[in-house]
């Protein structure tokens, strides 16, 4: 009796191959969909202007160990705690009224003097030498919450207090406590400084959002490739099976 080509593909020894191919495709589709969803969420967050919302306590927006919440970019937050003046740094490349200058950043410990601290952009100054002394003691403020910067700018002199961008990894080396994975830009500058408004911010988040989309495409491409490999394997095995059936078929006698 003649059997259909590729019957060996249903043998138990090939079950693992089929399950592996199915698992690869399903996982790739699901991970791609997850990355695509993250891309859509980031685009929606970028399109939402939270800067005019009512301030909320920092603890309602994020915790000290939390990653930055993508839906809180620009959210005004209220923060109170103790200033950490020795952690003051200056972030270069910030423009104010057509002039290049620096952001003045001082951490604020939120729970105790040695507790987790939030880097705070206190304002803008034309040069570090003209900045007033950093504050000390207790502080209460309102600021716009922002994600850490990370465009990969090189710090040409790591030993000074000037940074090319506001990276938490650079700041944490200058203080004795942990830092939040975010920073705040004061809605009103501290005494002796010009406002550091959000117009001075470099473009953030766009590359991260694009990266999510590229990851989604990569996962889907991997799933398609796994499916292609499985189809080719099935065809090859079915072809080999059919050839074997033909070679083993008895030669019929003529009538």
Assess whether pLDDT exceeds 90 at residue 43. Answer: no
Helix and strand numbers (H, E) in the chain are 4, 8
Taking residues 53-81, report their average pLDDT.
92
Q: What is the pLDDT of residues 139-189, one digit of tens each?
A: 999 999 999 987 677 777 877 899 999 999 889 988 999 999 999 999 999
pLDDT in tens, 199-234: 655 444 445 566 777 888 898 898 899 889 888 887
What's the pLDDT tens digit per position in 13-23?
Answer: 677 778 888 89
pLDDT given for residue 129 in this prediction: 93
147 Rama sector, left if φ>0, alpha if ψ -120 to 50, beta otherwise? beta
**DSSP annotation string for 74-120:** T-EEEEEEEE-GGG-EEEEEEEETTEEEEEEEEEEESSSTTS-EEEE
Flag the least confident range among 8-12, 52-56, 227-231.
Answer: 8-12
Mean per-residue pLDDT for 232-242?
71
Which pLDDT score, from 0 to 100, does residue 243 have?
61
- Region 50-79: what's the mean pLDDT? 91
- The pLDDT of residue 201: 56
Domain boundaries, the chain: 7-39+209-245, 74-201
| Residue 151, pLDDT score | 66
């Amino acid at each position: 009796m003649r059997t259909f080509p590729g019957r060996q593909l249903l043998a138990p020894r090939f079950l693992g191959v089929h399950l592996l191919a199915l698992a690869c495709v399903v996982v790739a589709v699901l991970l791609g969909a997850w990355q695509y969803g993250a891309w859509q969420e980031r685009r929606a967050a970028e399109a939402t202007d939270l800067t005019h919302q009512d301030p909320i306590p920092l603890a309602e927006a994020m915790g000290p160990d939390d990653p930055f919440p993508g839906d809180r970019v620009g959210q005004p937050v209220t923060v109170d705690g103790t200033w950490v003046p020795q952690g003051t740094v200056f972030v270069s490349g910030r423009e104010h009224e057509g002039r290049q200058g620096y952001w003045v950043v001082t951490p604020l410990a939120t729970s105790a003097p040695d507790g987790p601290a939030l880097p705070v952009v206190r304002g803008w100054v034309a040069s570090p030498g003209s900045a007033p002394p950093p504050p000390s003691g207790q502080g209460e403020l309102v600021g716009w919450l922002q994600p850490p910067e990370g465009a990969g700018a090189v710090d040409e002199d790591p030993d000074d207090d000037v940074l090319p961008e506001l990276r938490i990894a650079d700041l944490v080396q200058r203080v004795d406590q942990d830092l939040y994975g975010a920073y705040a830009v004061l809605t009103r500058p501290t005494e002796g400084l010009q406002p550091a408004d959000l117009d001075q911010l470099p473009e953030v988040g766009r590359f991260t959002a694009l990266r999510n989309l590229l990851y989604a495409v990569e996962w889907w491409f991997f799933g398609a490739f796994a499916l292609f490999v499985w189809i080719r394997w099935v065809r090859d095995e079915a072809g080999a099976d059919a050839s074997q059936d033909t070679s083993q078929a008895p030669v019929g006698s003529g009538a």
